[in-house]
Amino acid sequence: MQKQSDSTDFIGDNPPKITGVTLLGWIAVTLGAALFFCSFFVTKEPVSFSVLMGLGVTLFPAGIFTLLTDHNLRKLLLRQVTQVMALATSDLKHSIETLNKTNRFLEESQDLGLVRVYGDRTSALDKFLDYALGYVNQLAQETDTEKKSVVIVGSSLKGIWDDPRFADKLTKLIERGRTVECRFDFLLTHPHYSRYREGQESREKDDIAKEILHAISWLKARLVGSDHVKLYKGTPTCFLMATPERMLINPYPYQVEAYRCFCLEVVPSGSSHSIYSTYWVNHYKKPWEGEIAKEDHRLVVNALPYQYFALDGPIPKEYKIASSAPGTLADAVIIQDSGECYISVNVSRLPPQVAYDQAGSGRTIMQLGKDYRVCLLKPKTKEWVQIGQFQLNERRRGFWNGMLPDVEISAYEQIGVFSTDQDSTFQYGEDAPELKGSQRPILWQSLWRAFPVIEKTKMMISGASA
């Protein structure tokens, strides 16, 4: 049986038994002992005796001291080397485990299509909008229409249109996309459902709904029509922007704004379980196009189109406005769903007085109050049905929105805004024989003129009746 090596041996396959220091120690001990012993046999000459005796006495203890010191140093060195190697081995094992985890993460990330993680939406959106513009610029020679699309899913897009830098980039993206026939689809939150977020985000009543309607107006000003904007019946879960080759996802947390939270940039990986595929289908395609219900095999549509139009008034067109032209004073949005209808009226800058010229009567001043009623006109009975009311603030702005159950907007002829505290100066004339002599609204719009589809339906019904 092989004898176990001494603990003082150095680590290695063939550890050295004698080092240079050990050899010198043994030489000193041996030589010192020999000189000391020989000193007794030399001639009793004082000098020779003293030299031999002195060298022996000096070398022998020095050798002993060297051997002891070398032995202790080797033990100490061995202990330190053993500790260092133990730590190195532990670090190496940890590094290997970390590397294995990293490799697994990279493999899973590749399978899921994850390419990058951003700390917040601001930094992510800045880079992704630049990428999207570059993508659209390359579509000029592209013949595959499936590749000519950009999709944005969000709550109100406030993080884009409220930031001049992002608003400018998105405007350029839309304008460039129009030149290469790129399709843009915007899926926003239905304004009625945004009220469920007001309390959690410490927002005032209707603030988020106004932001959504502002986004509609902002997109309309950039020639994005209502056929490319839909409103989803539900609170949002994440912001999404995508092209056919890349996607940006920003989840919405409950208690803080989404733009402060992380974003994922993903690409199609070929797997149906990839992040891109999952969100493209379930966060855009199905909400946008609808999904077949299993219980009755009917198409369930949760993303609805809208109708946006300006309200006329307060002076009928047959009169000449003498004051500075106020332009569009109010607009409205209508979202028709099966069994209910959402309507919003937004008054932007209704002045307290409007001057107009009337033939034979000179200049007249029309006074405009602060309290108003929103009404719909029934076509057969010519009855105005009140659906809401609002009051102008100190800046002469007002807003009302509401969900009306069991209302089909095509069953009404006009929408009108009446003053509650002051009658209108004007009455209907020959342009509306059935309403002649009755009070005009302060602001109004013919729904059949506002909605071409409704107008077409009306003509078909009239033709059938005839």
Residue 3: per-residue pLDDT: 46
Residue 16: per-residue pLDDT: 53
- CB 363 within 8 Å of CB 322: yes
Contacts of 444 (CB under 8 A, 6+ apart): 311, 312, 313, 414, 415, 416, 417
320 and 298 both lie in a single domain: no
Q: Which residue numbers in the chain have pLDDT < 70?
A: 1-26, 28-29, 31-33, 35-65, 67-68, 70-71, 322-327, 360, 449-466
293 and 330 both lie in a single domain: no
354 and 430 both lie in a single domain: yes
446 and 336 both lie in a single domain: yes
Q: What is the DSSP letter of 282?
A: I
221 and 132 both lie in a single domain: yes
Does the model's pTM come out above 0.75? no
On the CB side of 290, CA atoms within 13 Å amount to 10
330 and 353 both lie in a single domain: yes
Domain with 260, as residue range(s), is: 114-303
Residue 438: per-residue pLDDT: 86
94 and 125 both lie in a single domain: no
Domain final residue, candidates 64, 82, 112: 112
Domain final residue, candidates 84, 112, 140: 112
What CATH number does the domain containing 239 carry?
A: 3.30.870
* pLDDT per residue as tens digits for the range 46-83: 666 666 566 655 666 666 667 667 667 777 777 877 88
298 and 312 both lie in a single domain: no
Q: In what order do the strands lie in the sheet with 263-266?
A: 114-118, 263-266, 246-251, 238-243, 149-153, 183-189, 229-232, 303-304
Residue 89: per-residue pLDDT: 80
155 and 298 both lie in a single domain: yes
Nearest Cα to Cα of residue 130 among 163, 158, 159, 172: 172
Nearest Cα to Cα of residue 308 among 405, 102, 450, 444: 450
Domain count, the chain: 3
Q: What CA–CA distance (Å, rounded) separates 54 from 60?
A: 10
338 and 428 both lie in a single domain: yes
Q: What CA–CA distance (Å, rounded) separates 245 from 232?
A: 24
121 and 107 both lie in a single domain: no
Helix (H, G, I), strand (E, B) or coil at 170: helix
338 and 284 both lie in a single domain: no
What CATH number does the domain containing 349 carry?
A: 2.60.40
Domain final residue, candidates 288, 303, 318: 303
Residue 31: per-residue pLDDT: 67
What DSSP assignment string belongs to 239-263? EEEEETTEEEEEE--SSS-GGGS-E
